[in-house]
Amino acid sequence: MTRPNAREQLEFLSRNAAEVIPREELASKLERSIATGRPLRVKLGLDPTAADVTLGWAVVLRKLREFQDLGHTAVLIVGDFTARVGDPSGKSETRPRLDKEVVQRFGERLLEQFYRVVARDNLEVRYNSEWLEPMSMEDVLRLTASYTVARMLERDDFAKRHAERRPISVMEFLYPMMQAMDSVAVKADVELGGTDQKFNLLVGREIQRDYGQEPQIVLTMPLLEGLDGVQKMSQSLGNYVGIAERPDEMFGKLMSIPDDLIGKYARLCTDLDADRIDRDLRSGSLHPNTAKREMARAVVALYHGEKVAGEAEERFDLVHRQRELPADVKEVPLPDSLSGVERVWLPRLLTAFKLTGSHSEGRRQIEQGGVRIDGQQVKDPDLEVDVRDMEGKVLQVGRRKFVKIAGHS
């Protein structure tokens, strides 16, 4: 098979990107790569600050995979050092620092999930503690001399906090420079990131130039809104879908996104023809529920396989169309807090099994028709149940929360 020429590669790699800066420089780098046979070194840095890889992270990981598929080298930077500082990008306050041991645990867990998206061939995995930890004070001063405070304050989040007289630590100013040193250390030709990373990535260009390297190309990808349809997908906000989640959970979550995000999820999270989906949704020839199912199936298939995706959809229908219960409900013993209790207020029972966060939330879910016992809707928020009668029954809250009650632990 003939390898695509530079222009064809440029068009393919620019697809769905928010920006390519500068676009013509990427074209030149691709032409040189073909002429010399040297693949581009394409960098993506991810700080292990949480336990799961979300679909939001996967947007950029999928773009990294596209470079790999064209024969270029993916350089995945696990930010085990920068994670301890905390990236202030897009944040309105100083970020908390993480312990080294916590970061290490997250890093090990995330790396296995990264391999669900990126290929292990033509891949370098580097940890930025390798070059950041040994830096001397002289090295740090040399780095800080490469950028000014005025330039740092051009960044929106810093500018806003400065104007409102909220604190910005010097350590936060160092974060974009440490990220830039990652680019220097691995001699990046291209760096990928979300649109919220644009400032940091552009700093990388400046620092590389100051260290005598050809500046990297910056390619940013759109941010993916979470399940709430408003805020960026985030584990801290709980509005996320993890790529390693159970297929049923993944499918159910994706079916809950707002209709106006169907096209965006199809475009950024799948290989579907998103333009066709957008066009058919606008014309009314495609029902939003049908489009959402197609998107959800495609996402689950990407990470679990076509057969499993079909089975997840079937189980979704059993629960949500026919109101039957799934076959694999987790069985949980009665908590010790209910030991010796004969009758219990249902909202308290829901909270005890962590199906709701509080008694008031449990009452509200019942009033809204969101609570079922063995598939039967409960309508009385003041209902008390016999604890012994509940053994073996399934409690359901909303569309995706199920617990089968066992006896005392």
What digits encode the pLDDT tens for the residues 133-181?
A: 999 999 999 999 888 888 888 777 788 888 888 888 888 888 889 999 9
90: left (phi over 0), alpha (psi -120 to 50) or beta: left
Q: Which two tokens stand for residue 346?
A: 């249902």
**Residue 46 forms beta bridges with which residues?**
78
The CATH number assigned to the domain with range 247-320 reads: 1.10.240.10
Residue 409: what pLDDT?
A: 47
Question: Hunting for tokens 């830096």 — which residue is that?
Answer: 135
> pLDDT class for 376, splitting at 50, 70, 90?
confident
Residue 89: what pLDDT?
A: 54
Question: Hunting for tokens 């199920």 — which residue is that?
Answer: 402
Phi, psi angles (nearest 5°) of residue 54: -90, 165
Mean predicted confidence (pLDDT) in 200-225: 96
Give the residue, 154 or 79, on which the prediction is more confident.
79
Q: How far apart are CA 211 and CA 233, in angstroms?
A: 35
Model's pTM, two decimal places? 0.76
The CATH number corresponding to 6-221 among 3.30.565.10, 3.90.1150.10, 3.90.550.10, 3.40.50.620 equals 3.40.50.620
Q: Which two tokens stand for residue 230?
A: 């408003």
Residue 386: what pLDDT?
A: 87
Residue 200: what pLDDT?
A: 92
Q: Is the pLDDT of residue 342 over 80?
A: yes
Mean predicted confidence (pLDDT) in 179-205: 95
Q: Is the peptide bond before 22 cis (omega within 30 degrees of 0)?
A: yes
What DSSP designation does 321 have? T
Residue 327: what pLDDT?
A: 62
Percent of residues, the chain, with pLDDT higher than 70: 94
Helix (H, G, I), strand (E, B) or coil at 373: strand
Distance in angstroms between the alpha carbons of the first and the last residue of the chain? 61
Residue 5: what pLDDT?
A: 93
Q: Which two tokens stand for residue 384?
A: 């008390």
Determine how β-strand 376-377 pairs with β-strand 371-373: antiparallel
Q: How far apart are CA 264 and CA 358, in angstroms?
A: 34
Helix (H, G, I), strand (E, B) or coil at 20: strand
% helix / strand / coil in the chain, to the nearest 5? 50, 15, 35
- Residues 6 or more apart whose CB falls under 8 angstroms from that of 162 comprise 153, 168
Residue 166: what pLDDT?
A: 87
* Whether 117 contacts 271, CB under 8 Å: no
Q: Which two tokens stand for residue 161?
A: 């906090």
Question: Hunting for tokens 């908590």 — which residue is that?
Answer: 335
Tens of pLDDT, residue by residue over 278-295, are 999 999 999 999 999 999
Q: Which two tokens stand for residue 54?
A: 């979300």
Do the domains 6-221 and 331-408 sit in the same CATH topology, yes or no? no
Helix (H, G, I), strand (E, B) or coil at 194: strand
> pLDDT class for 407, splitting at 50, 70, 90?
low
* Whether 399 contacts 319, CB under 8 Å: yes
Percent of residues, the chain, with pLDDT higher than 90: 57
Tens of pLDDT, residue by residue over 216-252, are 999 999 999 999 898 999 888 889 999 999 999 899 9
Mean predicted confidence (pLDDT) in 337-363: 88
Q: Which two tokens stand for residue 1?
A: 């098979």
Q: How far apart are CA 31 and CA 36, in angstroms?
A: 9
Question: Hunting for tokens 């974009």 — which residue is that?
Answer: 176
- Residues 6 or more apart whose CB falls under 8 angstroms from that of 196 comprise 89, 90, 223, 232
Tens of pLDDT, residue by residue over 2-51, are 778 999 999 999 999 999 999 999 999 999 999 999 999 999 998 887 77
- Residues 6 or more apart whose CB falls under 8 angstroms from that of 188 comprise 41, 42, 43, 75, 182, 204, 208, 216
> pLDDT class for 96, splitting at 50, 70, 90?
low
> pLDDT class for 92, splitting at 50, 70, 90?
very low
Mean predicted confidence (pLDDT) in 113-136: 94
Residue 131: what pLDDT?
A: 96
CA-angle at 196, arms to 48 and 221, nearest 5°: 90
Question: Hunting for tokens 């028709």 — which residue is that?
Answer: 369
- In the chain, where are the structural domains located? 6-221, 247-320, 331-408
Mean predicted confidence (pLDDT) in 324-338: 75
Q: Which two tokens stand for residue 336?
A: 């010790």
The CATH number corresponding to 331-408 among 3.40.50.12280, 3.30.420.40, 3.40.50.1860, 3.10.290.10 equals 3.10.290.10
Mean predicted confidence (pLDDT) in 175-203: 95
- Total residue length of the chain: 409
Continuous H helices in 255-394 = 262-269, 274-283, 288-304, 306-320, 346-352, 359-367, 387-390
CA 278 to chain centre: 23
